[in-house]
Amino acid sequence: MSSVLKKDRFKLPDGVIYLDGNSLGPMPKTVPARLASVMNEEWAEMLIRGWNKAGWMAQPTEVGTSVGRLIGAAAGSVVMGDTLSVKVYQALAAGVKMRPDRRVILSDTGNFPSDLYMAEGLVGLLGQGYELRTVAPEDVAAAISDDVAVVLLTEVDYRTGRLHDMKKLTALAHGAGAVMVWDLAHSAGAIPVDLAASNCEFAVGCTYKYLNGGPGAPAFIYVRPDLADDVEPALSGWLGHDSPFDFALNYLPGKGIERMRVGTPPVLQMAALEEAMKVWDDIDMGALRSASLELQEQFIAEIEHAVPQLTLASPREAKMRGSQVSFRFEHGYAAMQALIDRGVIGDFRAPDIMRFGFTPLYLDTADVSAAVAVIKDVMTNALWDEDKYKVRSRVT
């Protein structure tokens, strides 16, 4: 179907149609050998020398540059580390410092809760009248007023896949004198992103979703290059210091993006991600986007034809969606468990969203039709209506 299909690069279990790469990407086949090599030839043999000899210390910025290529970020403007929640906090804290006369962080109620929780925690710590203001996603543009210090938005809504207009909202934020932070959790590796063109100050994202870095893969943070030597890191850990091995008693922020590092990088996870990023070497994000929309349109058309019990929760207009399609169903949790039991893996987001991710690196039109056939069977015959499918697991 498309030039971006690289199914043979991934290890996918037999009998599974994987529609959850938006939550945890599958494993690229070369990752285990790479990890074995890092463990046996680097960790075991080099021991502490690995930091220099194997280049472990340089990895966070090197891998950052390879992630940056997919999101329109110049080389050296992205660094890896920590988790996305931590990176959200760093970006927000640096952003409010840039607007000392303002007290409002603006976000929307469609944002992923952890982003809002991190903002709440920061606002609580700052005190002094700082406030997190949330409005409905469609009301964000109108809510960008001149008391807003930082606008924090996630480009693709994790529930519905609805896409915010990055360029337009960034321009509005800047017009009102606010700093713009974009969360690219469901954008990086999913849709074309042009951070440089958007002109936003900060962007953050994770790599275990569409980038296939594996469970617990490090997050990333982007700082616009002209600001990178001025931003004040709130998480002033030693590896963000200008000269960590001087062991000075006072913090002096490192050069450029290096200052957004905090502590020791997760070398094994970083190696897994670095290896996983090789899959992207020759991927054209425009071609990937076309392929993703083709799969989504096919899925929506076939579901609406065959499964009237499901109601589309995602925008109908293709260009308003990221790379996922969601449907509402009252018994969505049980229905998703019944699907997973039959090899069609998506996920569930409370209260009633059945979420399906479309990842053209390893999904084709035949997979979509096969998934629809299983969904039709489960829904038409109410195969979900069993007690065992109604017990909520810790992760949904």
269 binds ligand PLP (CB under 6 A): no
- Nearer to ligand PLP by Cβ, of 20 and 183: the residue is 183
208 classed as catalytic? yes
x/- string (CB under 6 A) for ligand PLP, residues 208-247? -----------x----------------------------
Q: From the CB of 87, what's the least distance to ligand PLP, in Å?
A: 8
Q: From the CB of 25, what's the least distance to ligand PLP, in Å?
A: 12
324 binds ligand PLP (CB under 6 A): no
Range in contact with ligand PLP (rule: CB under 6 A) among 47-55, 132-140, 181-189, 268-276: 181-189
Q: From the CB of 282, what's the least distance to ligand PLP, in Å?
A: 27
158 binds ligand PLP (CB under 6 A): yes
- Nearer to ligand PLP by Cβ, of 270 and 303: the residue is 270
85 binds ligand PLP (CB under 6 A): yes
159 classed as catalytic? no
Q: From the CB of 21, what's the least distance to ligand PLP, in Å?
A: 13
114 binds ligand PLP (CB under 6 A): yes
Smallest CA-to-CA distance from 296 within 324, 327, 329 is with 324
Q: From the CB of 34, what's the least distance to ligand PLP, in Å?
A: 22
Q: Which one from 87, 102, 224, 355 is the annotated catalytic residue?
A: 355
Q: Which of 78, 84, 148, 368 binds ligand PLP (CB under 6 A)?
A: 84
Active site residues: 112, 183, 208-209, 355
Binding site for ligand PLP (CB under 6 A): 83-85, 112, 114-115, 154, 158, 183, 185-186, 206, 219
